[in-house]
Structure 1
Amino acid sequence: MIKNIAVITGANYGDEGKGLGTYQFCESFIKKGLNPLVICHNGGAQRGHTVIHEKTRHVFRHVGSGSFLDCPTYLSEDFILNPIIFREEYEQLLEMGIELENKVFVSEKCLVTTPYEMFLNDMKERKRNKLKHGSCGLGIFETIQRNKEVNFAIGELYISTTKFGIMSKINKYFNKCVEEENLFEYKKDYMNNTMLLKIISAYFEDLEFMYSKIQIINSDDEKDFLERYDSLVFEGAQGLLLDQNNKEGFPHLTPSNTGADNPINILSNLDLSNLDWIEVCYITRTYLTRHGAGYLENECSKEEVNSIMYDKTNVPNEYQDTLRYGLLDIENLIKRVNKDFKKYESLNCNDKVFKTYLMTHMNEYGINPFKILEKDSDIEEIHMSFDENLQVI
């Protein structure tokens, strides 16, 4: 019987602190005696949600950011699975003493990434050279595109012969893409048949590992499964400005719904008659950040924000280069938040739905968060958090 729901949404280009927000809501629910379930409803293993729990730091990628608190995770149908990253993270958390056995539930409709999509992602970015998009290199977009011709959802992986048949079809699709997009030069640079066989063999081991550690939820059972929990925490990935429907940012967007759409699709099928409230929490830093290429509002140098802070999660890398910075426009922030929040009217429980802002990185840039209240009087609360050592967590 669902009582409380929190929806954690990035208000900008991502990296706002959604992991921290998810953790805090889970902790709050637990203190109230509730049993929260974290729902990861978009994106995939390219997520990087940092949480520090009792001096232990972890960047969550494939499971919910409530895992330090023993909260289970549900990867709904719009989450894209990556067995390689799943196993890596599972074993990392196990070394930290975090046991995920019987804690990770997965929709049967979740698409599965293979090494072939990761190869395509890498080769396309290499070919673009200085015009690269700034992809994470994990094949998210390529998995979605491949699925239009060769479907591979986790619910199809019931018998061992299935995976070999699917992989053969994906291999053919991969070779077709290499030919159509003239990627031969980039393929031969780092991949030969012997190497490919080793990679696919290791991938099958990771796939079997993931399959043995998750519990698959059939679509017909999803409603009953979710209604077992008295509280839900929707942990979004990326931010509103990267939503696939934000045409102003095309083509440098993420291929998913980053705001209200996915949570509403899930909630509209549930019994909310006993609901106390839904808090839609929009998270923002005191400034803007962005990975890779594309428009960045009020872009500025890092020094204009804070010359001495050091971001331990978003380090420079070959795919996305160095993190970019911009100054936050409060009026534009409120406009896009209000546009997204209005969608929740479709749930027909307006008296129980309210929005809040969580502002992170308060000590890094001298913005007054209460200016938001002066401009938008219907915001009930502002949460604040920061790391006193001027290190971005």
Structure 2
Amino acid sequence: MTHTIVVDLGYGDAGKGRVVDLLCEESDVEAVVRFNGGAQAAHNVVLPDGRHHTFAQFGAGTFRGVPTHLSRFVVVDPLALAAEAAHLVTVGVPDPFALLTIDEDALLATPWHRAANRVRERRRGADRHGSCGLGVGETAAYALAHPDAPRVGDVRDPGRLRQRLVAVRDRLSEELGALPVPDVDAVLTVITAFRDAVRIVDRGYLPDVLRRGRCVFEGAQGVLLDEWYGWHPHTTWSTTTFANAEALLAEVGGLAEAEGSSAGAVERLGVVRTYTTRHGAGPLVTEDPSLRLPEPHNGAGEWQGAFRLGHFDAPAHRYAVEVCGGVDALAVTHLDVPPSVEICTSYSAISHIPVESPGDLQARERLTAALRRATVGQSHRPSDWVLSIEEALGAPVILGTDAPSGAPVFHRTAVTA
């Protein structure tokens, strides 16, 4: 039994949803486990019959009937979750909530977090950090400052939940001014419906799932947006490497060892496109405005900004592999790449993107400034994209796709650590 952790080695939008869907189609999967992010995820899955859903909090294996578990590392937004479930019903998933479990320790995003997120981003003006405007980072920041931040388990106790919601409203309103949010009782009504619809579990639930069968861990955003390793301040308030998934697996491994059972092996799968993309502000060294590539599921957004395209950025993806501690294998999407796209193998001014001082945000800002000045050094048009990406990133490509639906171009035997 091998669990697979799926991580985007870029800035997000590499095709994690497509990859997870295919992994769930190929064999029995016990569950898809989400291990970071929240409602700002946008993992598109298109079925051969044309049905399409952008998975945010539900796992991208939902069309295959695979349950989703939202771990304690996910920021859960009940309002967004209800809207997503409603759309899933329209595309043929009759009871989405029956496929969902949520860890009681997961943070609870509220409308005040969302509103505060948008106020802050507006006030930054031309210096916007880049945001989806859904309050995920605001929720994480609030929890760091306030131990009484609302969590999913609080929905079981309406009195305590109300107190915590009032505290969120009052603190954020005092700091930022009046926020355009419904009153507390209206929010409580929605969250009560959420409580009645979902199954909330404690920390002992996931170990049982992982020991029952193979699981796919579905990451959100990309390593180059990581809260500690990304180009600060244009990052997410989320750990986007393998670390959270490995922490969950380590807990299970320790329990299994104590019980004399097995938690299974782990495969670390990195996902890249044949070209590098980025939503909104921040460095994109290989950006090329002349690239005109079809993009049915991404575009300019009010909060994210423009959807930007660049040539395959091997130095940045190598950096992502390095800060992740390596990958066992790669998945490459968009193999129908046009002749205009090249692989950038080096920058003009930076020989190697340094990994040091991940917790030093001032050092990360200096790196961001250096990357803004960097330009493409050497690049080439590969005759074999798969072989070239394997050589550039030092790992085998085991899955390749060239279309948003249907069979993959190839799917080789997995490589396990």
TM-score, scaled to structure 2? 0.79
In structure 1, C-alpha distance between the alignment counterparts of 2:335 and 2:220, rounded to whole Å: 21
Where does residue 278 of structure 2 map in the other structure? 290
**Matches of 1:208 and 1:27 in 2, distance apart?**
34
> How far 1:334 sits from its partner (Å)?
3.3
Question: In the superposition, relative to structure 1, how do residues 126 and 168 fare at CA in structure 2: closer, same or farther (>3 Å)?
Answer: same
Query: Which residue in the other structure is 2:190 paired with?
Result: 206
SS in structure 1 at match of 2:396: coil
Superimposed CA distance per residue, residues 40-98 of structure 1 (whole angstroms, 9 cap, x where no aligned partner): 00000000000012321110011100000010001001100111100001111112220
Letter in 2 for 1:196: P
Partner of 1:165: 163
1:119 counterpart residue number: 115
1:35–1:328 CA distance, 2 compared to 1 (3 A): closer
The answer (yes or no) to whether the contact 2:38–2:76 under 8 Å persists in 1 is yes
Residue 385 (structure 1) aligned with residue 401 (structure 2) = yes
* Counterparts of residues 322-361 of structure 1 (less than 5 Å): 322-342=306-326, 355-361=328-334
Instruction: List per-residue Cα deviations over 1:197-222 (Å, max 9, x = no partner).
Output: 3xx45433331222222211212444
- Deviation of 1:118 after TM superposition, in Å, equals 0.8
Q: What is the root-mean-square deviation of aligned Cα atoms in Å?
A: 2.2
How far has the Cα of 1:364 moved from its partner?
Answer: 3.1
Q: 1:61 aligns with which of 56, 65, 90?
A: 56
Partner in structure 2 of residue 181 of structure 1: none
Q: Which consecutive residues of structure 2, in runs of 5 or more, have no partner in the other structure? A: 340-381, 406-417
Find the counterpart in structure 2 of residue 238 from structure 1. 221
Match of 1:350 in 2: none
Letter in 2 for 1:215: R
Residue type matched to 1:284 in 2? V
Structure 2 residue 335 is matched with structure 1 residue 362: yes
* Matches for 1:50-129 after TM superposition, within 5 Å: 50-53=44-47, 54-98=49-93, 99-129=95-125
Confirm or deny that 1:196 pairs with 2:150: no
How far did 1:36 drift? Answer: 2.5
Conservation of the 8 A alpha-carbon contact between 1:287 and 1:365:
no
User: Is residue 250 of structure 2 the alignment partner of residue 268 of structure 1?
Assistant: yes
Q: 1:268 to 1:63 in 2, by over 3 A?
A: same
Instruction: Tell me which of the two structures has the higher relative contact order, counting C-alpha pairs closer than 8 angstroms and 6 or more residues apart.
Output: 1
Matched residue, 1:348: none
**Partner letter of residue 205 of structure 1?**
T
Match of 1:49 among 33, 43, 60: 43
Offset of 1:108 from its aligned partner? 0.8
Residue 376 to residue 284, structure 1, CA distance change in 2 (3 Å): closer
- SS in structure 2 opposite 1:8? strand
The equivalent residue for 2:354 is none
Corresponding residue number in structure 2 for 1:15: 13
Determine whether 1:145 maps to 2:133. Answer: no
- 2:269 is aligned with 1:281: yes
Contact 1:363 1:388 in 2 (8 A): no
Shift of residue 312, structure 1, vs aligned partner: 2.5
Cα distance between partner residues in 2 of 1:163 and 1:269: 29
| Structure 1 unaligned blocks of 5 or more | 179-183, 343-353
- Percent of aligned positions with the same letter in both sequences? 26
> Structure 1 counterpart of 2:229, which letter?
N
